[in-house]
Amino acid sequence: MPDLRLIEVDFPIRPVSEESVREKNIRHGHISTLHIWWARRPLAASRTTALAALLPDDPHRREALLRLVRDLAPYEAVQGENPELEKARALIREAFGGRPPRVLDPFAGGGSIPLEALRLGCEVHALDYNPVAVLILKCVLEYPQRYAKPDSVSALPLPVRERSSRSLFEEEGPDESPLLRAVRAWGAWVLEEARRELQPFYPPDPDGSVPVGYIWARTLPCQNPACGVEIPLMRQTWLAKKDNRKIALRLVPNRAARRVDAEIVEGRAISFDPEEGTVTRAHVRCPLCGGSIDDDTTRRLFREGKAGQRMMAVVLHHPDRPGKRYRLPTARDLEAYRAAEQALEEKRRKLWEEWGMDPVPDEPTPIGGGPGAERAFSVHKYGLTRWGDLFNPRQKLALLTFADKVRQAYAQMRSQSADPDFAKAVVTYLALGVDMSAAFCNTLARWENTSEAIKQLFSRQALPMLWDYAELNPFSGSTGSWAAGWEYYLNVLAHLTRIPPVEGNNE
């Protein structure tokens, strides 16, 4: 009878399952915050099943081995030095004649299984045919292992400190990974360089309040010939919907001026139902005349270019005060947006000349091949036929500026005679930062009124039409901003570079 592995005899399914579920709410240091990957396996399940599959069953110490597997299931158990983790590594080496076993994952995806095998001291080989997965694997497995030790690079390229405050480029101790130091410094440099160009387009209020975001509604003209008013398309009008805090936007028909006005109301002043918006499943209702637009006409009007957009509210946060507040947009807000529109054209021409291609993506959006796919990729039916159509002008300007700064960072690293592979590794993390910004900075990102935060478009695997959207201020420091996202990246990288290198994993 062949030797059995522990997992073939017994396994602590319940505690591992519980930890796998709990892990969904863990963000700081978790690889899920590096880049979206839909089919990523839970780290707890990956770690414990790998361990139980590598260890041979021993009836005399089976309970001790199962207890070890169970003890290593919590996320916190592997966030620092842990005697139990060292014990697991030693037992695995013992089972394989004193050497680290080779583990191959030919469909590695988001990297959970190879990462946990690496954590257990194995020589890991990971493959995937999806280029996004390959990029994630390089950032999770290859680069942190290759550049973990202080002496892994001969020279450390860093930005000129005088360009920003010292605190942004604060260095840790001499034992810190050069990769972490460089990513931290260049990420801060990209942020500050982009801020210098973009800050005028996100002006703070006179009292120092910073715009967290801007809530927009797409618009259509009422098809009633006697009306013709611009209808703001909103699925509902809640701004904050909590047990102890309720704020809503009320749409006010102004028949004298033939327009739909708005006001912000709070608490008991909400004498209407904010759940009732002006659009449901592409059926539109005019708040002024009560007329309606059917779904087919709605789609046709969008495709014909009859749709517009209107800024409905501004979300603010004061650095010295808790919570968020809301106000209606002012002429100053609209002027800043129009200025961004003009700046985009200039930036686009400049980068087109430098890059040799249109910097705004013009590839077609998915059409969808069946009933389910058509619902998942419904934007195409509304005239959003190119990827560039999914961003408003200020969002395009912001993303182009961040992408340009990442390219400049790479050029500066190379001008310092940085090792080409190391510079490529650093700039790859910077590129992931632009990816994450794009997930929040588009016209399919929504305002979640229960958490009072902007939610990125990939809440599900789809590009569904969104009537009202939230435009992010990338410098606000709130969820989705570059600074907030970068803290997640640094936490992940700090954790990954502390995993002890294993011979063979740098190949």
Q: pLDDT tens, 110-168?
A: 999 999 999 999 999 999 999 999 999 999 999 999 999 988 999 899 998 644 444 44
Q: pLDDT tens, 41-66?
A: 999 999 999 999 999 999 999 999 99
Residue 223: pLDDT above 90?
yes
pLDDT score, position 175: 73
Residue 15: pLDDT above 90?
yes
> Two tokens at 267?
């608490």
pLDDT score, position 373: 66
- Count of Cβ atoms closer than 10 Å to residue 424 Cβ: 15
- Is 185 in contact with 159 (CB distance < 8 Å)? yes
Q: How far apart are CA 79 and CA 46, in angstroms?
A: 15
- Looking only at the bridges linking them, the beta strands covering 446-448 and 453-455 are antiparallel
484 falls in which pLDDT band (50, 70, 90)?
confident
Residue (of 262, 259, 257) closest to 272 by Cα position: 262
- How many CA atoms does the CB half-sphere of 187 hold within 13 Å? 29
Q: pLDDT tens, 344-377?
A: 999 999 999 999 999 999 999 988 766 766 677 8
pLDDT score, position 1: 41
Q: What is the dihedral sign for C-alpha 119, 125, 129, 132? A: positive
Q: Which residue has the tokens 């499943």?
A: 281
* Over residues 71-87, mean pLDDT: 93
Predicted structure pTM score: 0.92
Mean pLDDT of the chain: 92
Q: What is the dihedral sign for C-alpha 15, 16, 17, 23? A: positive
Q: Three-class SS of residue 144?
A: helix
